[in-house]
Amino acid sequence: MTTDFTKAGAIRLPNRRVHRPGTDFVIRRTTRFIGSLWVLVTASFLMIHLIPGDPVRAALGLDAPPDLVASRRAQLGLDRPLWRQYVDYVTGLAHGDLGTSTLSRVPVSQIVQDRLPATVEIAVLSFVVVMLIAIPVGLLAAVHTRGGRNRGLDLGFAATTAFAAAIPEFLLAVGLVYVFAVELQWFPVAGRQGPDSYVLPVLALSLGSAGALARVVRVEILAVLDQDYVRTARAKRLPARLIYLRHALPNALTGTLTLGGLLIMGLIAGTVLVESVFAWPGLGTTIVQSILQKDYPVVQAVVLVYGTGVLLVNLLVDLLLAILDPRSAIREA
Amino acid sequence: MTNRIRASATGRRWMAVFRTPVGATGAFLILVFLLLALVAPLVWGEDAARIDVDGGPGRHLLGTDSLGRDILARVLVASRLSIGLTLLSTAIGLTIGILLGAAPSVLGRHAGRAVTASINIAVAFPGLLVVLFFAVVFGVGMRGAVLAIGLAMAPSFARLTQTLAASVEGREYVAAARVAGVGRFRLLFRHILPNIAEPLVINATIAAGGALLTFSGLSFLGIGVQAPSYDWGRLLGEGLNRIYIDPAAALAPGVAVVAAGLGFSMFGEVAAKVLSGEQLRPGEGPLTASSIAAGVAAESTDDDDVLVVEGLQVYAPSGQGEWVMPVRDVSFHLKRGETVGLVGESGCGKSLTAMAIARLTEAPVRVRADRLDFLGESLLVSRRAHRKLLGTSLAMVFQDPMASLNPSKRVGRQLAEVSEVHNDLNRRDAMERAVDRLTAVHMPRARQSARQYPHEFSGGMRQRAMIGMGLMGSPRLVIADEPTTALDVTVQQQILSLFEEVRSTQDSAVLLISHDLAVVEQVCDRILVMYAGRIVEELLSADVGTSARHPYTRALLASAPHLETDRDLPLVVIEGSPPDPGLVSRGCAFAERCEFATDRCRHDLPELVPTASDHRVACWHPQTDPTYLSRRTT
């Protein structure tokens, strides 16, 4: 009898070395990334040329002396044929040459190098804060509102997170400045000196996303808690902590990560406004100033940096998803 | 005529949106701000421009700005530009979006695909970046900002149009129109667009809320509206510099932006929910069932009894907010080493009985019983105290072994954690035990299998793993809920033999739940037949073929095909289906489907009474006619 079982099972044991759709997926995603990057580079190149009329005249004013206009045009390379400019632009990028600021005459790559860290800092910190808030809050909300219990908590959670998600970052920033910097004077109003100056910008960037993500975590966890394997975990009489953290949470990460990726991209864009509220010396304030001062090479470069950041996050999330949930890669193929 | 009916139906559905508190608030906010946008500049225009140099306190509710102009008036007047520009850019975005989105269905294949690809790339970038890009192209200022926001909104509208159009294009009337030779453009404007207009409008409403926020953001940065014109964003930017002197200057326009933005998105989201037919939160009915009753002191405890159940009732809320009782007054007991089958059609309350016995039901389901003893301990008292007892002595096996194992954990880990939690084994010892138990359930290459994920297993192997999981402790009772239903017939037999083996080696009792009388008859000592939440007959397995008394049991028997069943005759079926738990009648629940039913059956409930030793039946007209039983073999 026993041998029969073993044989039957041995035949049915699936072969582990089957076709792996993983590599296909990575290739496809990388191709899409490169394609999007090309579109981004081309768009940022064309930006100057899409400006109706003459960008140099637009920047210098209509009564600028003609020789200044001409020299500025030459400096920007606008006097050469379009295809030539494009080739120069792309080869320049390949060598890390982002052009020169028309205002300060500083190489744009230098400006980016100076300003990028401040922006990355608050973006990464905000992302961490979003996760630290959203996952526990969403998990707790799911556990305590499951099966229609705790209606009051359910409503409170829904209202709070919806409100947090509905207020745009810069308004939240203004509100935070008023309460915590002006009234309570716990944190500085603006600038980047010392750890406490990070608190308000990071909160302004993260609270809205945390609210939105907490809602997703709750919905995902609720769906997982209805699964049979959670019933199995309960039948094993595991402590609640293990049921939620070990059996429910890991299976709810896919949906969380999908929205999480979108939120990081929103975070990256959100830095533009939040930096302006706090006079944060990052790329966000740089692009706003450059747009207002019509310093086009800087604008081009910052758009490029932001766009590349977004595309990279996109790619990373897709690959992470494929690792966490191999079905997502197969489903697409 | 039909059009009018449709129009009034649409009207009624929209009225439902206004009737929800959130929808009504949203609509109210939108209305207020639209009115303000129209009249505010006429009413407060002068106040907003007047410079009051010695503006004493009290004359201006929210104070004055740096030039001495009334802030409240300026905020009110600014609604015209803020709302107007928002609507304008939304309209631009919607128009371009619809054109782009509809283009693939009008253009040829290649051009269409190119449009789709560019939409997909554009959607991947955050809106604000696209807005900044276009703001550079169109130049700083009001016109540039309107165009930039409009263009930035276009891709998502395009994608939406495309998705909606694709869903409509598959429908019959579009296909019919196409067959009838209707041209592409006519098809688009007469048949497709009108049918997707509603979701587009709703999404435009939500998007308008976002556009308002973005516009305020641009003006706040100084890229949008330029002085001397002002919208809320511009006021906010000017106010922020004076936040120490006069917080209202920054907060008032902020509040206006949030209120208007929320108005648009609240209304839009409620409309989307209501019109897509999603049910709004139904009111919860009053709680009529009493909560868990304390256990009655055990009367006489037979040492051999593993499980004693008396007067078990399970309450659950129905969809209509009422409470129903899917399990009513179930009593039975299980002895050591005994295999008992619980049979009945789907919806008879078998699984719920099992979950209630194992104390695995969750709120809102409520359980009460006169007695529920497991190994002499009343399970009605406290769950926490029994965690270890139940975790090591009560094993559960469920129907779908794929769904019952956690897809993201290795099988061995899922077994091992039982011993880690209940027996305080360390990780390695627990894993050794898991491998040992997998071997005990004849898992091929147990050590290797322990390192695999459930999806790498066949159905039979998964069910073996589930049983092995139950064997991590030393189970006194195994409750198996339809353990073989999801498996194919040959594997079924192997799993049933495995239960037999567990019973004999571990000396545990087995409660086998199945809708399949043939399976139960084959492996069980005793059989409990369940119908509409009650046990209607209890008898020895060996007697089923000869002395089943209840018409329901006999009907189940007759409908179970056997090897000897004449395959030329149609299979016997029981007419009708079990009653809904909310609609169970006063009398015998089976009366409606029973050929022997009389008025008495419909009005009086038959009790489960012994007719012989080892045989109980709940029926006013127990059948003894052996010819009926012999039908199954003719």
A12-33 tens-digit pLDDT = 444 444 445 567 788 888 888 8
The pLDDT of residue B93 is: 92
pLDDT tens-digit profile of B544-569? 878 888 888 888 887 776 656 566 66
CB B395 within 8 A of CB B350: no
Percent of chain B exceeding pLDDT 70 equals: 87
Alpha helical stretches, state H, B358-458:
387-393, 401-404, 411-422, 427-440, 446-450
The pLDDT of residue B567 is: 60
Mutate: best of A174, A219, A315, partner B, most B CBs <10 A: A174
- The answer for residues whose C-beta is within 8 angstroms of residue A140's C-beta and 6 or more apart is none
Calculate the dihedral angle through the C-alpha atoms of A284, A286, A292, A297, rounding to the nearest 10 degrees.
-120
**Which pLDDT band holds residue B95 (cuts at 50, 70, 90)?**
very high
How many CB pairs below 8 Å do chains A and B form together? 196
Q: Residues of A with CB below 8 A from B400's CB? A: 228
State the average pLDDT over residues A234-250: 87
Q: For chain B, give me the number of helices (H) and strands (E)?
A: 24, 13
Secondary element (H or E) of residue A291: helix A283-293
3-state class of B332 per DSSP? strand
Residue B527 has pLDDT above 50, yes or no: yes
The answer to whether B469 contacts chain A (CB < 8 Å) is yes
Q: Which residue of A has its CA nearest to B446?
A: A6
Q: Of the candidates B214, B194, B235, which has an alpha carbon nearest to the alpha carbon of residue B131?
A: B214
Parallel/antiparallel/unpaired status of strands B371-374 and B377-378: antiparallel
CB A306 within 8 A of CB A203: no
Q: Residue A19 gets which letter from DSSP?
A: -
State the average pLDDT over residues B345-374: 86
Q: Decide if B360 and A234 are in contact by the 8 Å CB cutoff.
A: yes
CB B126 within 8 A of CB B184: no
State the average pLDDT over residues B343-358: 87
Q: Decide if A242 and B417 are in contact by the 8 Å CB cutoff.
A: yes
Q: Of the candidates A278, A171, A160, which has an alpha carbon nearest to the alpha carbon of residue B258?
A: A171
**Which pLDDT band holds residue B53 (cuts at 50, 70, 90)?**
low
Instruction: Return d(Cα B462, Cα A232) in angstroms, integer.
Output: 13
Residue B282 has pLDDT above 60, yes or no: no
Q: Decide if B121 and A1 are in contact by the 8 Å CB cutoff.
A: no
pLDDT tens-digit profile of A102-159? 788 888 888 888 899 989 999 999 999 998 999 999 999 988 887 767 778 888 888 8
Q: Which residue of B has its CA nearest to A263?
A: B126
pLDDT tens-digit profile of A272-285? 889 988 888 989 89
The pLDDT of residue B340 is: 92
Q: Structure tokens of A196?
A: 């406490």
The pLDDT of residue B561 is: 64
pLDDT tens-digit profile of A197-206? 888 899 999 9
**Which pLDDT band holds residue B55 (cuts at 50, 70, 90)?**
low
Parallel/antiparallel/unpaired status of strands B339-343 and B534-540: unpaired
The answer to whether B114 contacts chain A (CB < 8 Å) is no
Mutate: best of B20, B25, B137, B415, partner A, most A CBs <10 A: B137
Q: Structure tokens of B461?
A: 């192997």
The answer to whether B61 contacts chain A (CB < 8 Å) is no
Q: Structure tokens of B547?
A: 């002395």
Phi, psi of A138, rounded to the nearest 5 degrees? -65, -40
Q: Where are the beta strands (DSSP E) in B56-165?
A: none
3-state class of A70 per DSSP? helix
Question: Which B residues, 489 through 528, put their C-beta within 8 Å of a C-beta on chain A?
Answer: 490, 494, 497
pLDDT tens-digit profile of A165-209? 778 888 888 888 888 887 888 888 777 787 888 888 999 999 888
Q: Structure tokens of B339?
A: 């295999």
Q: ∠ at Cα A177 (A174, A180), nearest 5°?
A: 145
Give strand pairing partners of B481: B513
The pLDDT of residue B94 is: 92
Of the spans A293-307, B271-285, B478-492, which averages the highest pLDDT?
A: A293-307
Residue B92 has pLDDT above 90, yes or no: yes
Q: Where are the beta strands (DSSP E) in B502-614?
A: 509-514, 526-531, 534-540, 609-612
- The answer for residues whose C-beta is within 8 angstroms of residue A98's C-beta and 6 or more apart is A92, A107, A108, A109, A112, A297, A300, A301, A304
Burial of B4 (0-12, 13-18, 19+ CB in 10 A): exposed
**How much is the ipTM here?**
0.80
Residue B409 has pLDDT above 80, yes or no: yes
Q: Of the candidates A284, A259, A142, A152, which has an alpha carbon nearest to the alpha carbon of residue A208?
A: A259
Q: Decide if B243 and A147 are in contact by the 8 Å CB cutoff.
A: no
The pLDDT of residue B86 is: 92
The pLDDT of residue B362 is: 81
Q: Where are the domains of chain B?
A: 2-275
Secondary element (H or E) of residue B371: strand B371-374
**Which pLDDT band holds residue B285 (cuts at 50, 70, 90)?**
very low
Q: How far is CA A307 from CA A37, A51, A303, B127, in A?
A: 8, 20, 6, 11
Mean per-residue pLDDT over chain A, rounded: 81
Residue B464 has pLDDT above 80, yes or no: yes
The answer to whether A51 contacts chain B (CB < 8 Å) is yes
State the average pLDDT over residues B619-626: 80
The pLDDT of residue B237 is: 85
CB A264 within 8 A of CB A327: no
Q: Which residue has the tokens 């219990």?
A: A149
Of B124, B138, B408, the CB nearest to A251: B408
Question: Which B residues, 200 through 229, put their C-beta within 8 Å of a C-beta on chain A?
Answer: 209, 213, 216-217, 220-223
pLDDT tens-digit profile of B115-137? 888 887 887 788 888 888 888 88
The answer to whether B146 contacts chain A (CB < 8 Å) is no
**Fold that domain B2-275 belongs to in CATH:** MetI-like fold (1.10.3720)
Of A35, A174, A270, the CB nearest to B254: A174
Q: Residue B64 gets which letter from DSSP?
A: B
Q: Of the candidates B423, B433, B492, which has an alpha carbon nearest to the alpha carbon of residue B464?
A: B492
CB A305 within 8 A of CB A112: yes
Parallel/antiparallel/unpaired status of strands B477-481 and B509-514: parallel
Q: How far is CA B334 from CA B305, B338, B373, B377, B479, in A?
A: 6, 7, 10, 14, 11
The pLDDT of residue B483 is: 86
Q: Structure tokens of B140?
A: 């700083």
In Å, the largest CA–CA distance within chain A is 100
Q: Which residue has the higher pLDDT, A152 or B508?
A: B508
State the average pLDDT over residues B509-514: 90
Mean per-residue pLDDT over chain B, rounded: 80
State the average pLDDT over residues B221-244: 84
CB A157 within 8 A of CB A218: yes
Of B127, B409, B456, the CB nearest to A14: B456
Q: Which residue has the tokens 């954990």?
A: B409
State the average pLDDT over residues B424-444: 88
Q: Decide if B461 and A51 are in contact by the 8 Å CB cutoff.
A: no
Instruction: Return d(Cα A207, Cα A166) in angstroms, integer.
Output: 10
Edge-first strand listing for the sheet containing B526-531: B394-397, B477-481, B509-514, B339-343, B526-531, B534-540, B615-617, B609-612
Least confident segment among A5-19, A134-148, B25-39, B618-632: A5-19
